[in-house]
């Protein structure tokens, strides 16, 4: 049985791109009996960018509620909150003592912001080491990542190998990288990749009126209602394809080419598809957000399961380092 580990930052409610590109595939993996899935909310990583205590707390609950609402079964995996396992910060220190200063300088998480060093905190610089501790603490065999995280996984593998060279080859498991070359590209309302950084996302958990406003803000050209349109060059159609049946997609494409079908019609159809596709999840999300005690209970159970592994790993590392 392979242990698969997935982490998600608590930077707010997951948007449609997060859901289609990462959350639903991870849930599918967790439902397979041959997999031992560990899924955690990386709320310690969040502190590198978010300092407001209430935001950190509420964002963590929002991420937890979204995963459960979208179908994650905590009984089929280990679902926990990173900050509930302080062992990860101790392991981070040990790994720091094996980490190359120059290697961390080249990490994307730091390098992209290194031109403004006054805005860079040590936590951001050390981000890859905390990520390595997240993985190595739980004896993960496989870590699915997109191309943007491949470098961080290589750092993880390098650190594990360095520790093993000193302490014995079975001290830490060197994880395999599962690189998803076909990660789903979900366009945002401006046509770029959907991202919180760009502010171009669609939040499927919004009340219908606010969700409609987001969908209606999708950028289109200025063709008139009666004009034929190109379905292959329209963000509304691109998003519709990700959710609707092939029959519905063909119907919309035919309507575009025939004319007499406006972007307002297309956006209305997309909104209907979102609310229909995620209707149950939207309802469940609101129930969970209103009952944070239940979320805390679920996460506490997951932390209890994770702790059995984390304490064993940390004890092994401590002993072999001489502590």
The tens digit of pLDDT for each residue in 79-126 reads 999 999 999 999 999 999 999 999 998 887 776 666 677 778 999 899
> Which tens digits make up the pLDDT trace of 119-162?
789 998 999 999 999 999 999 999 988 777 788 899 999 999 99
Taking alpha carbons only, the member of 218, 182, 49 closest to residue 119 is: 49
Domain residue spans of the chain: 2-186+292-321, 208-277
Res 183: pLDDT: 58
Q: How far apart are CA 248 and CA 58, in angstroms?
A: 37
Report the topology of domain 2-186+292-321: Rossmann fold (3.40.50)
Q: How many CB atoms lie within 10 A of CB 290?
A: 9
pTM of the model: 0.92
Architecture of domain 208-277: Orthogonal Bundle (1.10)
Q: Using CB atoms within 10 A of its CB, is residue 181 exposed (0-12), middle (13-18) or buried (19+)?
A: exposed
Res 163: pLDDT: 97
Q: Which two tokens stand for residue 266?
A: 């297309």
């Amino acid at each position: 049985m392979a242990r698969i580990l997935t982490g998600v930052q608590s930077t707010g409610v997951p948007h449609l791109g997060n859901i289609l590109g990462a959350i639903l595939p991870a849930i599918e993996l967790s439902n397979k009996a041959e997999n031992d899935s560990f899924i955690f909310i990386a709320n310690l990583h969040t502190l590198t960018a978010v300092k407001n205590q209430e935001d950190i707390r509420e964002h963590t609950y929002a991420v937890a509620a979204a995963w459960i609402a979208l179908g994650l079964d905590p009984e089929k995996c280990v679902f926990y909150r990173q900050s509930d396992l302080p062992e990860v910060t101790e392991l981070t220190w040990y790994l720091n003592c094996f980490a190359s200063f120059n290697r961390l300088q080249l990490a994307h998480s730091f390098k992209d912001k290194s031109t403004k060093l006054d805005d860079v905190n040590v936590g951001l610089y050390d981000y890859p080491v905390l990520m390595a501790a997240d993985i190595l603490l739980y004896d993960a065999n496989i870590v699915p990542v997109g191309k943007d995280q491949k470098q961080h996984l290589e750092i993880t593998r390098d650190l594990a190998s360095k520790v093993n060279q000193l302490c014995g080859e079975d001290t830490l498991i060197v994880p395999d990288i599962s690189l998803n070359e076909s990660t789903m590209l979900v366009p945002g309302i401006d046509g770029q990749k959907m991202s919180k950084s760009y502010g171009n996302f669609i939040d499927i958990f919004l009340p219908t009126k606010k969700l409609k406003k987001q969908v209606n803000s999708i950028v289109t050209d200025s063709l008139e209602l009666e004009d034929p349109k190109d379905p292959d060059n329209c963000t509304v159609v691109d998003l519709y394809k990700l959710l609707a049946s092939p029959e519905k997609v063909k119907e919309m494409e035919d309507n575009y080419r025939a004319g007499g079908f406006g972007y307002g019609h297309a956006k209305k159809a997309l909104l209907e598809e979102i609310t229909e596709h995620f209707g149950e999840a939207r309802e469940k999300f609101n129930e969970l957000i209103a009952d944070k005690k239940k979320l805390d209970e679920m996460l506490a159970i997951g932390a209890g399961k994770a702790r059995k592994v984390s304490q064993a790993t940390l004890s092994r590392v401590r002993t072999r380092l001489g502590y």
